Structure 1
Amino acid sequence: MTGRHTAPVLEVQGVGKHHRGRRTLREVSFTVAPGTTVAVVGESGSGKSTLARIVAGLDRPDTGRVLLRGKPLPRRGRALREARRDIGFVFQDPYASLDPRFTVEQTVAEPLHAHGLWRDGGRERVRELLNAVGMGSAPAHAYPGEFSGGQRQRLCLARALAARPRLVICDEPTSALDVCVQAQILNLLMDLQESLGISYLFITHDLHVVRRISDEAVVLTAGRVTQHGPTRRVIAAPQDPATRTLPDTAWAGARFPPPASGAP
């Protein structure tokens, strides 16, 4: 987490969405500053993953708009593909989100090929990324099935960073992992943010994760923002009863930085 305050990397302005006749998002608004983490937290079905898909350009809002680096996110075509170079995505399940037919190199290189970057030192970029996520010893021609869940999630993170995005969306990236590996992945995310200056939109239902990794928290309840502000304030004084029922896990011996001064 950092304290940088310049023009937002991401602006979500009054986003609304209907799905199968039901309103899943209602006038959702917030911003993400460069080098910071905003956590979107809420119960299952609150609209968190729908919001993540809209920000990533994988789905369209019915109302409102998403701005990436001050420009509206295009709705389709080549312009959308070019804009998505600035967005990385780490999915919840590292077992389902990796193609078992792709080697390690092919997995991490996928965005480089998609954005026409492979010829500009693609193989060296893949090795650099694997080193950055602690997978430098992984054979380039190995397959995902040869690795553990935590190692697969590191490969997912390397893939998300391949095109040097300004924003990485993390949709419950630790929930499918055991508690020790969860702590390792969160520590890695924070280390990468410190070294690369990237921003995270972090989707989660775990208040411990929110407390430790985010600068700001956005609480979603039934698709509506019910609280938004500095994380320590949101956690210390939740305004929505649903927030108090969310899990708050802890990891013995995990290497986390201490909370900011005055935080609980």
Structure 2
Amino acid sequence: MSTVETVGLPEDRGIRPEHVHDLLEAGETEHLAALLSDLHPSDLAELLGELDDDDRLTLLELLPAEVASETLAEMATEEHPAEILTALGPERVGELVAELSDDDAVDLIRHLPPEEQARILASLPRLEAGTLRKLLQYPEESAGGIMTTELVAVSVHLTAAEAIEEVRRQAHELGGEFYAIFVVDLLRRLLGTVSLQTLVLADPKTPLRELVEPPVATVTVDTDQERVARSTAPNNSPTGPSLGPETSFSAGNLGH
């Protein structure tokens, strides 16, 4: 117990690499994981970049998958987070990549050699691996290269009550995180958006077509990122739809 008490946490709520090493050497892994899980991912990413290889890998095995994956996503490119990922076992790699949004996962593995990409994708469920393969095909500097397919889209033919149920179902599949509700027709063509507040306040029997608002900005998957930024900047919108071929809403949602 004395090791834990003497190492402690500095006043800035950070931990130096030597503190991590000492706690690992002392076998205080649960205590260390609890301390580090309270840190912001960006602070944890900075610490991870300062550790030696052995301590870094041990820490990534110890931390909860959600925390470890967010930390890797926050690491600077020059710290080679993707190469760190590949040093982990296949099962752990699958756990960490599965916790990331599609766009963060693609950013992490894009610059790896094809054989390493294939190894990581093989550790994922088939559907998720297929999604990432599709996103990896888009140029890095395009809208497709920064988009995520994790989105909520509902049919214009629903009522407000039916739309709420559909949003609830899709949001549950996404882990509760989404940034907009897109409204589409039967051919998945984008018609606009509707806010959750609008749905909740509307009469349950109100047709969704009476509540939909035109989309603030749309781009195609091959649109350059600078044009993407210009198209969303006037509305200060953190998200926008990215359209596939023939403007079918089948591609994804712009990264945020």
Same fold by TM (over 0.5)?
Answer: no
> Which of structures 1 and 2 has the larger relative contact order (alpha carbons within 8 angstroms, sep 6+)?
1
Which structure dedicates a bigger proportion of its chain to strand? 1
Q: Which has the larger radius of gyration?
A: 2
Question: TM-score when scaled to structure 2?
Answer: 0.28
